[in-house]
Amino acid sequence: MDGVASETQVSTAVGVAEARVRAAYAQISEVDRPEVWITLLPEHVALEAARTVDARRAAGAVLPLAGRTVAVKDNIDVAGVPTTAACPSYATEPAGRPGPATVTAPAIQALVDAGAVVLGKTNLDQFATGLVGVRSPYGAVRHATLPERVSGGSSSGSAVAVALGIADIGIGTDTAGSGRVPAAFGGLVGIKTTLGLVPTTGVVPACRNYDVVTTFTRDLELGVLATRTMTGADPLDPVRRPWPAGVRLGLRSVPVVAVPRDEDLASLSPGWRAAFDASVLAVRAVGAQVRRVDISGMLSAARLLYDGAIVAERYEAVGAFLADAPDADPTVRAIILAGRDTPAHAYVSDRARLAVAKVEAAAVLDGCDLLLLPTTTEHPTIAAVQADPVAINRRLGTYTNFVNLLDMAAVAIPAGAADGGPFGVTLVSRAFDDQLAVDLAARLLGVESAPLVEAGVDVLVVGAHLRGQPLNRELEELGARFHRSVTTSDAYRLVALDTQPRKPGLLRVGPGAGAPIVGEVWRLSAGALGSMLAGLPTPMMLGQVELEDGSWVVGFGCTAEAGTAGADITATGGWVEALRRGL
């Protein structure tokens, strides 16, 4: 639902979307990279959409993505545009999806509703099968700045559209790494959420159980905003998974980050290995602890995606059509048709193997917040991939193929250069710990982290749970997120309680009868707040507390009996100042 913008917002927003779209089409003409697009919307169509956005803003609508340009991978539906999946005959009779799409995929519609303007549909490895960006009858998508090299696939066009400065947001899909490998090659941020958070309704499936709609952006904040906008956009999505009640909303101040053993990094080219070693040092430099772990089991699980019975999912998705398609890429056809005769017992067996691998991976990462990986192994040339299309592609997926299979989330970020081009790393988290990966990515990029998860309860702390105080670790272990420093209204007294560790108690005594008390607001998930309440020791309690601005939040207080017995320290204005004074 549209909100109401301020007069300043409205006046400065008029015409912004139109100007951005005009700039995008000027850039399209300047770079002259037709292989990026399968269907580029006529400029007048995009301008009409942009003017609609500007009119909505002028009328008072709050549109967080107003004027942002979007390039959509052509395996995702946009109303009025054919969906080819890089196979022209797939979008025409007698295929199962004849003619232009009639409905926009919910994930894309959510972006449009938030003010984004779609520029067109982008090229890809056919049927999202590949990590190279060359398996398309529409041509190989060249790297944005190193045209002799691959751009990465399968979401090649969307990533290059962003890297070239045409689109602000590139939308891809990721089954084996297609939302991460192109990010690494393009110096971009690629966000691949936990399975089921972003709806895949209106997406041509690669493997239904392991597909994720992803974002490419040049900065983390926009990627988080776009991803958050798409999350949960289709409540009827059959694979929908909402954020759990106990979701972690913030990363610990001293996180533990797992990194692979030396022997697990053998696939890296020398230049990429040196760059990864530098990234491990960077993780330490931002305050994390590093722990070497054995990821050989994860690497083994990765091979099940193409070399095991899981490939039957690719055949289920498009195999019957592809068998007779005249414009099928030979490599793609061979990969997908290999799943045609997979026996059911083999598929069930491999799913069981994945279940075991998932438990083993959880054990390896026990005690760790995140796993740091090189996004891929090297940056090959187009010629090399065309000469050896399968082996190089397989190598590029070494550190990406297992992530969706094992139900993990990932944020890929740029991390310097290697072998004359961009280098990238990926922060991998457990399912639904997406925010932790975003937070560490922000630290490594030197920017403020943005919330990916909007849900939560604001809780006021005024004593031992403040940052730097002994019980703050309890908040961090619950995945709480620091929100802001605040001051209460003047209706409160602060008393020092006789507890271990020492802590104050907050008592409401009425407007003007107390004094403003300094505190902090932290955001916790509903489940985390319940856990905290269940373990709350006497004489502490939780209740509503009035802030200086007149708003109310849940806050820590104490019983009246404990408050009467405690020493009054209201005059200090807060617990930290009371400790400084030695009270």
370-374/256-260 β-pairing: parallel
Asked if residue 250 is part of any domain, the answer here is yes
Tell me, what CATH number does 538's domain have?
A: 3.10.490.10
Q: How many CA atoms lie within 13 A of 450 on its CB side?
A: 14
From CA 518, how far away is CA 267, in angstroms rounded? 53
Question: Do 123 and 168 share a domain, yes or no?
Answer: yes
Which of 401, 459, 462 is CA-nearest to residue 428? 401
Question: According to the 3-state scheme, what is the secondary structure of 246-315?
Answer: CCCCCCCCCCEEEEECHHHHCCCCHHHHHHHHHHHHHHHHCCCEEEEECCHHHHHHHCHHHHCHHHHHHH
320 and 340 both lie in a single domain: yes
For residues 498 and 473, membership in a common domain is answered with yes
Q: Are residues 435 and 330 in the same domain?
A: yes
Determine, yes or no, domain membership for 48: no
Closest CA to 197 of 403, 434, 1, 399: 434
H or E stretch covering 12: helix 7-13
Pair 115, 53: CB distance under 8 Å: yes
> From the candidates 151, 158, 178, 525, which is the catalytic residue?
178
* Known active-site residue 154: yes
Pairing of strands 69-73, 169-174: parallel
Rounded-to-integer distance, Cα 235 and Cα 3, Å: 22
pLDDT tens across the length of the chain (583 residues): 344 333 334 334 449 999 999 999 999 999 999 999 999 999 999 999 999 999 999 999 999 999 999 999 999 999 999 999 999 999 986 656 677 889 999 999 999 999 999 999 999 999 999 999 999 999 999 999 999 999 999 999 999 999 999 999 999 999 999 999 999 999 999 999 999 999 999 999 999 999 999 999 999 999 999 999 999 999 999 999 999 999 999 999 999 999 999 999 999 999 999 999 999 999 999 999 999 999 999 999 999 999 999 999 999 999 999 999 999 999 999 999 999 999 999 999 999 999 999 999 999 999 999 999 999 999 999 999 999 999 999 999 999 999 999 999 999 999 999 999 999 999 999 999 999 999 999 999 999 999 999 889 999 999 999 999 999 999 999 999 999 999 999 999 999 998 888 899 999 999 999 999 999 999 999 999 999 999 999 999 999 999 999 999 999 999 999 989 999 999 999 999 999 999 8
- In a domain, residue 521? The reply is yes
Question: Which of 130, 84, 548, 540 has the alpha carbon at shortest distance from 333?
Answer: 130
Q: Residues of 155-166 as b/e, b for ≥16 C-beta within 10 angstroms? A: bbbbbbbbbbbb
> Is 314 in the same domain as 245?
yes
Q: Which of 445, 469, 495 corresponds to the end of one domain?
A: 445
- Across the strands, what pairs with 373? 426
The verdict on 162 and 309 lying in the same domain is yes
Do 554 and 441 lie in one domain? The reply is: no
503 and 407 housed in the same domain:
no
Residue 253 known to be catalytic: no
Q: Could you tell me if 467 and 440 lie in one domain?
A: no
CATH classification of the domain holding 99: 3.90.1300.10
**β 117-122/69-73 pair status:** parallel
Catalytic residue from among 154, 155, 158, 525 = 154
Residues 6 or more apart whose Cβ sits within 8 Å of residue 110: 229, 230, 233
532 domain-assigned: yes
Task: State the residue range of the domain holding 532.
Answer: 457-580
Q: β-strand 492-497 against 503-508: which pairing, if any?
A: antiparallel
CB atoms within 10 A of CB 270: 10
Q: With beta carbons less than 8 A apart as the criterion, state whether 200 and 165 touch.
A: no
Residue with tokens 């056919």, as numbered in its chain: 126
Four-point Cα dihedral 4, 6, 8, 9, nearest 10 = -30
Report whether 332 contacts 135 (CB < 8 A). Answer: yes
Pairing of strands 421-430, 370-374: antiparallel
| 53 in a structural domain | no
Distance, CA of 44 to CA of 480 (rounded, Å) = 47
Q: Looking at the structure, do residues 425 and 484 belong to the same domain, yes or no?
A: no
Both 415 and 462 in a single domain?
A: no
For the chain, how long is the longest CA-to-CA vector?
Answer: 85
Closest C-alpha to 179, from 208, 149, 214: 214
395 and 510 both lie in a single domain: no
Which of 445, 471, 486 is the C-terminal boundary of a domain? Answer: 445
CB of 82 within 8 A of CB of 76?
no
* Residue 12 lies inside a defined structural domain of this protein: no
300 belongs to the catalytic site: no
CB 117 within 8 A of CB 70: yes
Q: Which of 445, 474, 491 represents a domain boundary (last residue)?
A: 445
Query: Does 364 fall in a domain?
Result: yes
Give the contacts of 72 (CB within 8 A, at least 6 positions apart): 78, 108, 118, 120, 121, 122, 158, 171
Judge whether 491 lies within some domain: yes
- Side chain identity at residue 161, one-letter code: A
What global pTM score does this model have? 0.95
Number of domains in the chain: 2
